[in-house]
Structure formats: structure tokens, C-alpha cells
Amino acid sequence: MPTIKDVALKAGVSVTTVSRVLNNRGYLSEELKKKVYDTMEELNYRPNELARSLSRSKSNIIGLIIPFVSHPFFGELTSHIEGHAYRNGYKLLLCNSQLDKLKEFEYIDMLRSSRVDGIIMGSHTLEVEAYRQIHLPLVTFDRQISPEIPYVCSDNYRGGALATGLLADKGCRKLAHIGVHPHLNLLSHQRYVAFRDVAEQRGIWHTSLHTDVNGFKLEEYEALLEQLFLEHPDIDGIFASSDILAAYALKACQDSGRRVPEDVRIIGYDGIAQRKLQNPLISTIRQPIEEISKRAVELIIEQMQGKAVASEHILPVELEEGATT
């Protein structure tokens, strides 16, 4: 591949000049610019980003660590984050932790070595201290780590309250919450807290089931629903902590001859696009996924620029009623 030196030589100028043209710095005659641009074109020259990054100590890369891209929610999140990064001239290094501690740890190391300009953390299997050691612009999704590290999330408590309130309003008398394991200090745990609060306020019987610690597996979801109906066959309202989980609940109801919403009412969380494939359409609490993604990227960029950023970014949710409630 041709280098800046080749361009300089062929254009009959110095590398400094070529670099100047490249970065549009200082005063350059139109004629000179054209000459340089032409030789670049001629040589099919592409500036070496590695060298640029090294020299400027800025890579224009954002690292994204999430549990699973193949999970629809994270797929949408990733998609929007990529879009915003792209619009701002950043590349995205994708890291699937699979909720594997070692993998997440190694990825953090790799990202630091790669001198990424910042990291968006959507996976949180490690201890607080591990994240504090990173010393890079950081944004966390759905987890509060320490005051210096900003986090962005949906209004989990309000979402949980809205969902539970709807089930109560519809006359449910025996509620179940299903979700992933609340082992870590994830903010999504607030959905459950709200569920419990509202159910108790309203004096409604309620219970909660959750998957294993590393639970994002589809088989686990199935087992969870089976257990639920085995232990509590007369459940008449389910608040699922994700739309995927809600879809499983719906399927489990249909398979066991329960009518939805007549016998059992179901409401999910997330508001993923794929929800629309379900029949009947699943009621849900919509997270502003696009807004969350945008904010996360902005927060990374602002930190890089040395700006002070607020540490708390709680974005509003919206109740979106379908046909399962």
C-alpha cells in the first residue's frame, strides 16, 4: 500500500505538505491541493489509520461490550449504537461477553490495549473495582457502578409499576413476575421492586421466578414457565422482564390451553420490534432504545472531550398495550 511518502514524492512536495492537505491545516493554494489530491487518487492512497491513531493518540474506536448480540434487545441496541457511532466518525469494536467473566475481563484488556477512545458496557459480570480500574471514558447501561461512571437506563421502576398497575386494573388477582437472575446490582431489578410494591399496595397476591445467574438461554426460559405453571396453576397475570420472556409465557399459556388475555394476562418489557411477530400482539413497556443508544455514544464522546457529564441518565418508558392484557 502506498504511503504518504509515495504521494509526496510523486507530487513533488514534502510529506508535511501532504499531511497538511490531508488534514486541511494551514494555508494551502487550491492548485497545490488539487495536485496532491490527484496523486492520492492516482495511487489509490489511503491514510494509515493505525499510524494516525498512534501519532494523535486517538483511535476513533468505541468498544461495546454486551452479553449477546443475538438477543433481540441487544441486537437493536447495538444497531443504534453503531449508527450513532458512525455518524460521529467512530468505529465500533463489538464484544460479546456471553456473560462469561473471563471473556469480559479479557475483552476489557483488549480494548484498553487497542486504545479505544471509550467503552460502552452493557455486560456486568465483574466487580465494581474491575470497572474503576479501566481509566477510560466509560458509560454503563443499566448498572450503577460509581459516581464517576455515568449510566444510562430506562425508568425501570416506573416501567415495572406501569406494567403491574395495568395487570391490577384489569382485575388480575394472582400475579407472577418472571425475569433473569437479580444477582448483580442491575438497575433492571427495579422492575421487580416496583412489581412487588404495587402488588402489595393493591393487596394482590404475587410471586416471582427467575432464571439462573447466567440465564439468557432459551431452554431456561421454557423451563421457567413450566415451573411457574406447575407451582401456581392459577396465575392470572404475568409481568415478564423482557418481551422474549413474555413471548415464552404466551406460548406456554397457549400450549397449556390457557386463553390470553381471558385466563391469563401478560405484559413484557423492552418494546423490541420482533414483538410484532407474536400473535396476539404482546403488551409491553417500551424502552427508548434509540434514545438510550444515542445518549450512550454522546456520553462517551463528551467524556473524551473532557466535558463534565451527569452521572445519571434515566430515560422515560412508555406503556404500549397490545392484545395480551
Alpha-carbon Rg for the chain, nearest whole angstrom, is 25
- Closer to a second copy by CB, 14 or 133: give it: 133
- Closer to DNA by CB, 4 or 168: give it: 4
| CA gap 200, 211 in Å, rounded | 23
Which partner, a second copy, DNA, none, binds residue 208 by CB below 5 to 8 Å per kind?
none
Amino acid at 307: K
Interaction site with DNA (CB under 7 A): 1, 3-5, 13-17, 19-20, 22-23, 25-29, 32, 45-48, 51-52, 54-57
SS3 percent helix, strand, coil of the chain, rounded to 5, is 45, 20, 35
**Rule CB under 8 A: is residue 244 a binding residue for a second copy?**
yes
Which partner, a second copy, DNA, none, binds residue 14 by CB below 5 to 8 Å per kind?
DNA
Contacts of 43 (CB under 8 A, 6+ apart): 2, 6, 7, 10
Max Cα–Cα distance, the chain, nearest Å: 84
**Rule CB under 8 A: is residue 182 a binding residue for a second copy?**
no
- Closer to DNA by CB, 49 or 106: give it: 49
Tell me if 143 sits within 8 A of 149, measured CB to CB.
no
**Rule CB under 8 A: is residue 207 a binding residue for a second copy?**
no
- Closer to DNA by CB, 55 or 133: give it: 55
Cell of 292: 438510550
Amino acid at 323: A
| CA gap 53, 60 in Å, rounded | 8
| CA gap 229, 312 in Å, rounded | 38
**Rule CB under 8 A: is residue 69 a binding residue for a second copy?**
yes
Tell me if 108 sits within 8 A of 134, measured CB to CB.
yes
Q: Using the rule CB under 8 A, which residue among 42, 218, 227, 256 binds a second copy?
A: 218
Which partner, DNA, a second copy, none, binds residue 29 by CB below 5 to 8 Å per kind?
DNA
Binding site for a second copy (CB under 8 A): 44, 46-51, 53-54, 59, 61, 68-72, 75-76, 78-79, 82-83, 86, 91-96, 98, 103, 109-110, 112-115, 133, 218, 244, 247-248, 250-251, 254-255, 273-274, 276-279
